[in-house]
């Protein structure tokens, strides 16, 4: 048996624990093999290591809930217990639950390669995630960044991409570089809106806890204690890629995502993503995952479309 003491900070004990500690009684009923006792502003938990981890996770979620709404009810306790049980069941089933979305929808790694991506990020500070559109590489990466921020593993999230567009011209668009490129970052914003309530997301962005910016804005910076995502990395030049990778500071993680079949650079310009993969393939501490049409989680036709284009590209290469 293991024992842990959890201190409740900056809470009204009546509002948090409930009348006659009703909320703690509700929590204890979900874990009959463990002993949970409230004494003043401390909660003492005695039980197996696995259950203590679950109980601690639930209490941390309840504290976040309290600081947002100012009160905890027995129904809140039931909801967070249910969510924790979902997480445990998903882990047992081999599905990696990353976090719950704004509508309570579980955001999971749904395919073996997506699960491998999650594990690689756990094991490495720099990961390259390659694959065609719809394979979830960017969405899963954003979810991992949000989870790290929520769990206080990092202090900020930085999401960036190069200012190269698919056959379009940024010049006619109004505003500065960031304003011009924002429309191309819409998938990133959509993902964040799925994962963080609107008001909280605005708060994070106003204070640059979450920063979304063109790659050019990264030059000269050292990115400490941050989760950094470079999206559409196939459109970086070798110099841009080197500049980005060398921004990594202490206590940071980086994910680089890209589709090597969709390079929008001028024909004579080599891709910094392709070069980086070649140069860094034997460097320890760097993970690489290649997703494919089997990982597509959009409409089922998207998988067939990707497969058809791949066959056409292979045929064209063979005829040259």
| Model confidence pLDDT, tens digit, residues 5-64 | 988 888 899 899 999 999 999 999 999 999 999 988 899 999 888 888 889 889 988 988
Rounded to 5 degrees, φ, ψ at 251 are 60, 35
Tell me the per-residue pLDDT of 252-310, one tens digit each, with 9 for 90 and over.
999 999 998 888 888 888 999 999 999 998 898 899 999 987 787 666 576 677 778 87
Structurally, at CATH architecture level, domain 100-319 sits in 3-Layer(aba) Sandwich (3.40)
Instruction: Give me the residue spans of the domains in the chain.
Output: 2-93, 100-319
DSSP letters along 212-271, please? EEEGGGGTT--B-SEEEEE-SGGG--HHHHHHHHTTB-TT-EEEEEE-TT---S-TTSPP
* pTM: predicted TM-score of the whole model, two decimal places: 0.65
Whether 2-93 and 100-319 share one fold: the answer is no
| Secondary structure (3-state) at 258 | strand
pLDDT at position 216, please?
A: 85
pLDDT at position 169, please?
A: 46
Q: Could you give the percent of the chain with pLDDT greater than 70?
A: 87
In the chain, DSSP assigns E strands to 2-7, 35-39, 42-47, 96-100, 106-109, 126-130, 156-161, 210-214, 226-230, 253-258, 286-290
CA distances from 126 to 1, 9, 10, 262 (A): 37, 35, 37, 22
Residue found under tokens 């969405």:
139
pLDDT at position 140, please?
A: 94
38: burial class by Cβ within 10 Å (0-12, 13-18, 19+)? buried
pLDDT at position 170, please?
A: 45
Superfamily of domain 2-93: K Homology domain, type 1 (3.30.1370.10)
The answer to whether residues 34 and 55 touch, using CB atoms and an 8 Å cutoff, is: yes
Name the band, by pLDDT with cuts 50, 70 and 90, for residue 233: very high
Position 172 pLDDT exceeds 50:
no
Tell me the per-residue pLDDT of 60-96, one tens digit each, with 9 for 90 and over.
889 888 888 889 999 999 988 987 887 676 666 555 6
């Amino acid at each position: 048996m293991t024992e842990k003491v959890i201190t409740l900070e900056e809470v009204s004990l009546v509002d948090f624990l409930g009348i006659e500690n009703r909320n703690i009684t509700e929590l204890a009923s979900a874990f009959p093999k463990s002993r949970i006792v409230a004494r003043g502003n401390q909660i003492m938990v005695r039980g197996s290591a696995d259950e203590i981890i679950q109980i601690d996770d639930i209490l941390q979620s309840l504290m976040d809930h309290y600081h947002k709404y100012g009160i905890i009810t027995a129904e809140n306790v039931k909801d967070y217990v249910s969510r924790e049980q979902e997480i445990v069941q998903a882990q047992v089933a081999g599905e990696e639950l990353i976090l719950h979305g704004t509508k309570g929808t579980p955001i999971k790694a749904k395919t073996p390669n997506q699960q491998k991506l999650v594990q690689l990020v756990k094991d490495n500070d720099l990961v390259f995630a390659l694959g065609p559109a719809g394979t979830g590489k960017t969405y899963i990466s954003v979810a991992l960044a949000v989870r790290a921020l929520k769990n206080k593993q990092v202090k900020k999230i930085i999401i960036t991409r190069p200012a190269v567009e698919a056959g379009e011209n940024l010049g006619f668009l109004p505003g500065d570089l960031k304003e011009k490129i924002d429309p191309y970052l819409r998938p990133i914003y959509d993902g964040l809106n799925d994962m963080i309530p609107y008001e909280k997301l605005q708060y994070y962005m106003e204070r640059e806890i979450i920063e979304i910016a063109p790659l050019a804005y990264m030059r000269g910076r050292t990115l400490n204690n941050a989760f950094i995502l470079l999206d559409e990395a196939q459109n970086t030049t070798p110099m841009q890629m080197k500049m980005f990778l060398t921004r990594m500071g202490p206590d940071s993680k980086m994910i680089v995502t890209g589709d090597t079949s969709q390079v929008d650079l001028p024909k004579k310009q080599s891709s910094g993503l392709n070069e980086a993969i070649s140069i860094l393939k034997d460097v320890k501490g760097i993970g690489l995952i290649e997703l494919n049409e089997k990982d597509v989680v959009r409409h089922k036709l998207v998988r067939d479309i990707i497969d058809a284009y791949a066959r056409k590209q292979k045929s064209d290469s063979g005829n040259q």
